[in-house]
A and B are shown apart, each in its own frame.
Chain A
Amino acid sequence: GIQVEQSPPDLILQEGANSTLRCNFSDSVNNLQWFHQNPWGQLINLFYIPSGTKQNGRLSATTVATERYSLLYISSSQTTDSGVYFCAVERNYGQNFVFGPGTRLSVLP
């Protein structure tokens, strides 16, 4: 099956710093989503981004489907950005997501 890798596994930042999280996947996909899991376990949708670039406030994401990777950028980080960021892919719409292992982000005040 498809494999998803994420890097770095852990990231510690001072408030206000910028960061880039990476997701590599082993095969072509029709769907890619980034999620943020908050300390209470809730998975929050950040981006649906199978290709191209999107921005939402301080967050933006880019997926280069031909090279099988996606990047999540967090600018001017805040303590509320702390948590685990997951990349999840689908080979075909409607099938199950395959999640990466996540990047655990800690933003210090």
Chain B
Amino acid sequence: DTGVSQDPRHKITKRGQNVTFRCDPISEHNRLYWYRQTLGQGPEFLTYFQNEAQLEKSRLLSDRFSAERPKGSFSTLEIQRTEQGDSAMYLCASRRQGSTEAFFGQGTRLTVV
């Protein structure tokens, strides 16, 4: 296993711009999760996929956020019209269906200026 990979590791953007993050899960892991972590807090769930189907979305996922996993492999998380409150670490995790453990990537740290 090469681990969960996220790109970019850091992103600085101006308020109002759109940003997109990518997550490559561990191969054969059909479940993929996105979490957001603000400074000093624990990660909070945003959404998850089983294969290409988006099965659950948190109320934290406003209409400016969209996530996709078109072929059931990598996933993208897009934030439109970024706001300063979007500044956070965005974490991706994956797991094999039926497995008890989830594995996290190193995250993408977003700073909106």
How many residues of chain B get a CB closer than 8 Å to chain A's CBs?
A: 27
Q: A42–B42 contact, CB under 8 A?
A: no
- In this assembly, does B97 line the interface, its C-beta being within 8 Å of a C-beta of chain A? yes
**Chain B, residue nearest A100 (CB):** B42
Q: A96–B89 contact, CB under 8 A?
A: no
- Report how far A7 CA is from B106 CA in the complex, Å: 25
Given A40-B106, A42-B104, verify A102-B33 contact (CB < 8 Å): no
- Report how far A33 CA is from B100 CA in the complex, Å: 9
Main secondary structure of the interface of B (DSSP, over half): strand
Contacts of A88 in B (CB 8 A): 42-43
Q: B56–A95 contact, CB under 8 A?
A: yes
Chain B 43-66 near chain A by CB (<8 Å), digits 1 or 0: 111001010000010100000000
Contacts of A42 in B (CB 8 A): 104-107
Contacts of A31 in B (CB 8 A): 100
- A: residues with CB less than 8 A from B are 4, 31, 33, 35, 40-43, 45, 48, 50, 86, 88, 93-102
Closest 10 pairs (CB-CB, A-B): A99-B42, A96-B45, A43-B104, A41-B107, A42-B106, A99-B43, A48-B100, A48-B101, A101-B42, A102-B42
User: Can you list 20 A-B pairs with a CB-CB distance of less than 8 A?
Assistant: A4-B42, A42-B105, A42-B107, A43-B43, A43-B91, A45-B103, A48-B100, A88-B43, A93-B100, A94-B31, A94-B50, A94-B97, A95-B56, A96-B45, A96-B48, A97-B43, A97-B45, A99-B43, A101-B41, A102-B42
- B: residues with CB less than 8 A from A are 31, 33, 35, 41-45, 48, 50, 56, 58, 89, 91, 93, 95, 97-98, 100-107, 109
